Amino acid sequence: MNCIFVAKKPLFISSNAYLSQLKKRDKVKKAGFSGILDPFACGTLIIAYGRYTRLFTFLDKNPKVYQATLWLGLESDTLDIEGIKKIHNIKRFKEERLESLLQSFCGKVSFIPPKYSAKKINGKKAYEIARAGGNVVLKAQEMEVFKIEFLNYSHPFLSFKVWVSEGSYIRSLGELIARELDCFGSLSYLERLSEGGLVYQNEKKLNPLDILPFPIIKCQENLKEAVFNGKRISKEDLKIYKEGKYIVKFEEFFSIILYQEKNIEYLVNRISLC
């Protein structure tokens, strides 16, 4: 089965465990997801079956939109409610200060990923090292906050909605916000609302040609055999003159190609259209 859709991961289950449930339910062997969600988080998870798993790398996943609740005063190893160490009593803040502080995070933000994350250190996931009691040292990286919106403040819980770039960690953003308030802070709730404009719609099957961000070339039948077998074709065959990635489409299948430096390279070939 080849298909791609947006699922809604429940709370307190890993993305891998949830994918296993879907595979068993739909009786498929090959499946994958794009954009891992932490076990305590819920929300949109792009799922693909069969050869459509090869399309993940080509999807435009910006922006990622989240709704989060930051528990001010919560000290946690995992920066969420799964690794609670201590709850500190802190003073109440003025809403105006919190709204202004959130806006100050718009733009490029330097952060260190959580030690309990899937970031790799010498080929091993950071959370595996942390759980084994090892020393986790992760390099600072950058996320872009396109937009952030204050939703509610019911002390000590600060709720906000945020639009961020791929590779962002909302747990780390929450930690940075709390640090500016001179207190600990960890997420008590996190939901991904959308990813690259894709939202949950009761697992509606998506047409890959509608969600891939490349121009579509509808090819003549005389090129079908050559493309199907991955043979060499020219820019004149396809009538393209600008470098970039393209979808070469036939009635039964499509391929993704790259035209660069006068050469055409097959990036993904012979993906059937359901």
Distance CA 139, CA 12 (A): 28
Contact between residue 79 and residue 173 where contact means Cβ atoms under 8 Å apart: no
Helix axes 95-103, 170-180, angle to 10 degrees: 130
Kindly tell me the sign of the dihedral angle through the C-alpha atoms of 203, 208, 209, 213.
positive
Q: How would DSSP label each residue in 12-71?
A: SS-HHHHHHHHHHHHT-S-EEEES---TT-EEEEEEEEGGGGGGGGGS--PPEEEEEEEE
Token representation of residue 107: 């733009």
Q: Is 60 annotated in the active site?
A: no
Catalytic residue, candidates 38, 60, 182, 210: 38
* Backbone region of residue 46 per phi and psi (left: phi > 0; alpha: psi in -120 to 50; beta: other values): beta
Q: 192: which 2 tokens? A: 């991904």
Q: How many CA atoms lie within 13 A of 175 on its CB side?
A: 19
Query: In angstroms, rounded to a whole number, what is the distance separating the alpha carbons of residues 153 and 211?
Result: 36
C-alpha closest to that of 195 among 55, 67, 41, 60: 60
Instruction: Return left, alpha or beta for 105; rule: phi > 0 is left, psi -120 to 50 is alpha, else beta.
Output: alpha
**Active site members:** 38
